[in-house]
Structure 1
Amino acid sequence: MAESLQEQMAMMTMDPEDFISSLTPHLRARVNELQTLQGQHDELEKAFRKERAALEEKYAKLYAPLYADRAAIVKGEKEVALPEGETAAAGEPEKGIPGFWATVLARAELVQNEKDADALTYLTDITCESVSGTSKQPAEDGGEETEVETTGFMLTFTFKENPYFTNTVLTKSYHMLDDDEPVLERSEGTEIDWKPGKNITVKVMKKKPKKGARPDAKPQTKLEPVDSFFNFFSPPQVPDDDADMDGEEMEQLHEEIEADYDAGDTIKTKLIPHAVAWFTGEALEDEGIGMFGDDDDEVEDEDDDDDDEAPPRARGGRGPKAAAGAGGAAGEQPQECKQQ
């Protein structure tokens, strides 16, 4: 029995061609036939992916005018007549639906604090579109770089003028290597142009002068990061393959990247297509879509620990496989994303 187990272990480590060659003629013929069947299956799968992409593109075009009408109503650009017999309430608020997207994000547990909630009241629309491109990747044999196709999606957040930042549009994009099992190559976010003293992703910490310091010594100040929805636009970066990181650092990065991707996928596949249900609360039957983890109160002068969980398999095999998230395999073009 021991010899049999050792032989099996040795066979499992063999090169595939050597493994097949080691089989008896009858076994080898049967395996070859199975490989033929597998090849036929793979061809059908390619056809399926092609047809699915075309179907998703078709329905993306059908969804587009519905999203446009929704945006117009939310912004107040399109008025909706009252039902017959009803009259407007006295002192009714501004046109549109104030705080629509702020409410959607709050119900989805993506709003982290009161400043987030206030800044997001100026958010007027969130849209998604598919993106594609190319990326240079190192050859496995150490040769010249090769250019490969990439796919992914971009989220666009449109804001009206607000007291926090000057940007009117913030974007977040995810780029996957175009493979049967998509691999996250990188994610990118807009740099936010914060107005003076309005950066809600940091807090000012003051430390009293040490004992024995000069009487006129001023308190030391430094900026500490805080949990905020707007950290979403500063995604963790996948390091180069030769980056010097220990196992603990790699695991932490793995979790951050996975949480970042899951957040984007949640917005893409749940919030954008079903925003009305989130606004009204009907979508709250689904649980576990929080982006940043628990919101336990923390001591002001302690470091803030993010409980982010993170995305698809990162470039270089550093992360997990592209997460399916809420709406299918990563990198696939979702129905709710417009084709670019």
Structure 2
Amino acid sequence: MSATAAKKPKIDGEKDGIGNGPDAAAQEAIEKIDEMQNEVDRLNEQASEEILKVEQKYVKLRWPLFQKRSALIEKIPNFWVTTFVNHPQISALLDEDDEDALHYLNKVEVQEFDDIKTGYTINFYFRDNPYFENDLISKEFHLNETGDPSSTSTPIKWKEGKDLTRRETQQNNAKNKRKHEEPESFFSWFNDPGDAGADELGEVIKDDIWPNPLQYYLVPEGELDDEEDEDEEDEEGLDDIDEDDEEDDDDEEDVEGDDED
């Protein structure tokens, strides 16, 4: 039922529910429009339910292909770490330690719940590695009937001295290839329940990387280098502008000095 149905709209000139002339005709038209909107809303709700059924059908149809794809991916060395490093949003979250740990990642999969409206799970499968004991780390995203989001993660069993989420600040450490505003690890994401409804990393993996990871694995190295070169050129351009401004200021000071003489 629409909001207008709860309280009938009233036009100017109508008093105590009694209208006459053009005002009465307009009020009748408004009420009929409201009734039609209720019908449109009902059809929209029905369409959403049918679309959901179709989506659930094709989630099941795609799954065997994703399984076969995963088996092939496992034959490609460093597929997933390369994919993540080549992704512009995820690469910004990785430093060298994270990348090294992700070299042991040999399988990623996203499983949507049977009722896809209620959430999904992201699974990371690892080979034996020097960082943690887990061979599977998962993060689940849930949406309850009231629309409130939540998430749960597999506790990571870090090996002694290898907990990447407890590192000291390394902002000035030359070992860091990428700078962070905060010294957080990519793996901190598993410890952060956060607002699952606004979990950008989970959404990027589910909606962007998982449907077609090959597009990021195959990003040409030259393309990444070009982007870095453009950033450097932009910074150099800003430096040149600053230098020109300083030179202009010096010239002005010289002119003022000559005038005083």
Normalized against structure 1, the TM-score is what?
0.51
Distance in 1 separating the partners of 2:101 and 2:87: 16
The equivalences for 1:88-127 within 5 A come to 96-109=75-88, 110-111=90-91, 112-127=94-109
The equivalences for 1:128-147 within 5 A come to 128-131=110-113
Distance in 1 separating the partners of 2:87 and 2:34: 46
Residue ranges of structure 2 left out of the alignment (5+ in a row): 170-181, 224-261
Change (3 A) 1:204 1:262: closer
Change (3 A) 1:132 1:175: farther
Q: Which amino acid aligns with 2:189?
A: F
Change (3 A) 1:66 1:39: same
C-alpha displacement of 1:192: 1.0
C-alpha displacement of 1:31: 2.6
Q: What is the CA deviation profile of residues 120-166 of structure 1, one whole-angstrom value per residue up to 9, with x for unaligned ones? A: 11111221122378xxxxxxxxxxxxxxxx71111111112211111
More helix by share: 2
Matching residue of 2:166: 202
- Which residue, 140, 144, 153 being the options, matches 1:173? 140
Aligned length: 194
Normalized against structure 2, the TM-score is what?
0.65
Asked if the contact 2:56–2:114 (Cα under 8 Å) also holds between the matched residues in 1, the reply is no
Residue ranges of structure 1 left out of the alignment (5+ in a row): 1-14, 76-95, 134-149, 206-224, 239-256, 286-340
Change (3 A) 1:161 1:104: same
Which structure exhibits the higher relative contact order, with contacts defined as CA atoms closer than 8 Å and separated by 6 or more residues? Answer: 1
- Which residue, 246, 249, 262 being the options, matches 2:200? 262
Determine what percentage of the aligned residue pairs are the same residue. 28
The SS at the match of 1:126 is: strand
Q: Which amino acid aligns with 1:190?
A: T
- Which residue, 2, 9, 12 being the options, matches 1:20? 9
Distance in 1 separating the partners of 2:114 and 2:73: 30
More strand by share: 1
1:226 aligns with 2:183: yes
- Which residue, 180, 192, 214 being the options, matches 2:156? 192
C-alpha displacement of 1:101: 0.7
C-alpha displacement of 1:194: 0.7
Distance in 2 separating the partners of 1:43 and 1:197: 58
Q: What is the CA deviation profile of residues 176-213 of structure 1, one whole-angstrom value per residue up to 9, with x for unaligned ones? A: 2346xxx34212222211111011122247xxxxxxxx
